[in-house]
Chains A and B, each alone.
Chain A
Amino acid sequence: MNEVVDILIIGGGPSGAAIAWSLAETKMRILCLEQGEWPNSDQFPSTGMDWEGRQQSDFSINPNVRKNSADYPINDDDSPIKIANFNGVGGGTVLYAGHFPRLLPSDFRVRSLDGVAEDWPITYKSLEPFYAHNDRIMGISGLAGDPAYPAKDQILPPVPMGKTGRMFGKAMNKLGWHWWPSDAAILTEEYEGRAPCINLGQCLSGCAQGAKGTADLAYWPEAVRARVEVRTGCRVSRIDTREDGMASGAYYFDKDGNEVFQPAEIVVVACNGIGTPRLLLNSASEKFPNGLANSSGLVGKNLMLHPYAKIWGQVDEELDGHKGPPVCLWSMQFYETDKNRGFDRGYSYQFVRGQGPARTAIDGLSAGQIPWGQDHHQAFRNAFGRSAGLVSICEDLPELTNTVTLDPEMTDGNGIPAPKITYRISENTQQMLDHSIARGTEILEAAGARNITSQSPLPYAGWHLLGTARMGTDPQKSVVNEWGRSHDIKNLFIADGSVFVTSGGVNPTSTIQAISLYVADQIKTRIYDLFD
């Protein structure tokens, strides 16, 4: 048996990294168990000529395609949206686009404002200092003064507008709609010893330049310097409990496939909205037959995935193509509820630049815009470097029927039951997707685009994994309390997107990390009566 630690963090992604970093100042003995390895930027696809091909193999965003030893299979057959993630130190940030919006103040009060779902037990104001702190550590670029948000500091200048941004900015001005440069976890200048972005355009398959705000670069080095231990290649199979119902530690499979017990005083789960319910459900025991921390029955329920629609077109002028961070601008024009639109809540737009040559051809072929045969070449030339578009990120309201359960047959390399996703797009979300395609088409038309196509939902875009262990003050209606502690197991905390009460209509990582820092802060300030 290993030596006991004060705090055991399971998962080395951005939520695990943030909480480890914050708790490090307590000088407690902190250990993070991560099933993957440290990313090696020398091996990232953009370092070789096969950069586009590797996005479909060992650097696919889909773990079922990637099948690296750190990955676990996910049965997502019963979902129109397939799951994307990355398992390794840094978690999903290794492959994310770095689009870094915060939730808006209204997101925390949807029941009060719109009569849907539940209010959060915390507010934008209570998270604000943690958002700001996280922005400084991740190194967020952006432009102060966005009228879609309460005031926030600018840390680094925004990512370049490029020809694509200019085209969309003009189109949005023509329509009189909101747009703004995205807050992005992309260094536009040298920052804290990290190199600036050189417009590789490959954020989604790992930044070889190290300019992207990933948890392995922004948080972990300092946490490790402060003596937090990250033990890689260790997949946790279950959390164990003592007679008194408190967590005693966790079992994990080490690199050699041995099952080892790691005792701990406090356990923090940071495995994301799928990995976390999977682990809690796999931790069922005689005392907790329905899984750990699950007296509410809500572990694995209310999965929210943010359905995306993509609207795309071609223009005559040469745009940025695959050069530059794909993240460019956002629009919050349709974010707040407007009952006249026929749905509750709303969505944001993320404007994106073009694709590399192979991806341009693949997308054009599948959309029927680039044909087979002799006409292929001309159609390709019309599309390549002259295409751009936007995606809508639609607020998904919580539904008990959208779930993560354990697959009765599928297991990972260590024989641990795999998660199974059951997910449907609700009527409300569908209307939002349709609305976003109609408005997105108007935007592209205003930009002078032709051959406008759309796809809804984007099938391989299940990268925001939220809501499956929600926070709340009522133990019957939530899994953790308002500061991230399990209602049932008083030394068990959850620090990832599972605790989201609603999803908002923006990418979640800045909020996930703000919550993680907030939970750490609560642990520190309540240390003397933490288990009461």
Chain B
Amino acid sequence: MNISDNNTGTNALSAHEREIFVFLVGCIIPSAKDLDLPGADDPVIIEDIIAIGQQNTSNLKKLICELDTLAPGDFQDLTSREKAALIHEFRHQCTHSALFLETITATGYYRDPRVLEHIGVEVRPPFPEGYHVEQGDWGLLDPVRERGPIFIMPD
């Protein structure tokens, strides 16, 4: 395992670790050609996901250690059946890291402008424009009013 100490840039992952990392991230959210949606392993999104992961060094280190243990040999040599077994093992034995990977993957993926546009979210921060929420009709409370007080007054 070799994660650089300063944890900056993508160099924090060795080529081998990066390969498994990208593979797993792409398994969580693959591209959908029919929807014209990138996968989480899209080159731009993956950099963002790695950057998010690097904000939590201890979790990232643990994840990388586990990736190394799961696939010690040459990842490219694995058959698709072996890769499926690797995913299964990762999700069921490395639950903490799997949760971490899901979290950083979703965080990076669902702020990519292409993805946001596709799901109908305006590509802008919430502030300063804000949003509209309908007021609603508080007349709906009439039955609650009619039933009268429900609290106990002890004194």
Closest to A188 in B: B135
CB distance from B128 to the nearest CB of A (A): 7
| Contacts A332-B151, A361-B106; A48 near B135 (Cβ below 8 A) | no
Interface size on B, residues (CB 8 A): 56
Chain B residue numbers with a CB within 8 Å of A335 are 150-151
The CA of A373 and the CA of B88, in the complex, are separated in Å by: 13
Is there a chain A Cβ closer than 8 Å to B109's Cβ? yes
> Which listed residue (B28, B116, B130, B144) contacts A147, Cβ 8 A?
B144
| Interfacial chain A residues near B16, Cβ < 8 Å | none
Q: Are A52 and B133 in contact (CB under 8 A)?
A: no
Task: Say if the beta carbon of B147 comes within 8 Å of chain A.
Answer: yes
Q: Find chain B residues with CB under 8 A from A179 CB.
A: 141, 144
Instruction: List residues of chain B with CB within 8 A of the CB of A105.
Output: 151-155
Task: Let me know if B55 is at the binding interface, CB within 8 A.
Answer: yes
Is residue A288 contacting chain B, with contact meaning CB distance below 8 A? no
Q: Which residues of A (125-168) have their CB < 8 Å from a CB of B?
A: 125, 143, 145, 147-150, 158, 160-163, 165-166
- Least CB separation from B120: chain A residue: A385
With A and B bound together, what is the CA distance between A176 and B143 in angstroms? 8
B134's contact among A161, A169, A198, A357, by CB below 8 Å, is which? A161
B30/A373 in contact, CB under 8 A: yes
Contact of B141 among A44, A180, A201, A365 (CB under 8 A): A180
Query: Is the pair A376, B28 in contact by a Cβ cutoff of 8 Å?
Result: yes
Check if A489 is an interface residue, CB within 8 A of chain B.
Answer: no
Chain A residues whose CB sits within 8 angstroms of the CB of B128 once the complex forms = 47, 198, 208-209
Q: Are B154 and A113 in contact (CB under 8 A)?
A: yes
Q: Please pick, from A109, A176, A333, A365, the residue contacting B28 in the complex, using a CB distance under 8 A.
A: A365
What is B's interface to A at a CB cutoff of 8 Å?
27-30, 32, 35, 37, 52, 55-56, 87, 91, 99, 102-103, 106-111, 115-116, 119-121, 123-138, 140-141, 143-145, 147-155
Q: A199-B131, A200-B131, A324-B131 are in contact. List 19 more A-B contacts (CB 8 A).
A: A44-B127, A46-B127, A47-B125, A49-B124, A52-B110, A56-B55, A106-B153, A124-B155, A161-B135, A161-B138, A166-B136, A172-B144, A173-B140, A176-B147, A179-B144, A200-B130, A372-B27, A372-B28, A374-B30
A residues within 8 Å of B by Cβ? 44, 46-53, 56-57, 65, 104-106, 108-109, 112-113, 123-125, 143, 145, 147-150, 158, 160-163, 165-166, 169-170, 172-173, 176, 178-181, 197-202, 208-209, 320, 322-324, 332-333, 335-336, 356-358, 360-362, 365-366, 372-374, 376-377, 380-381, 384-385
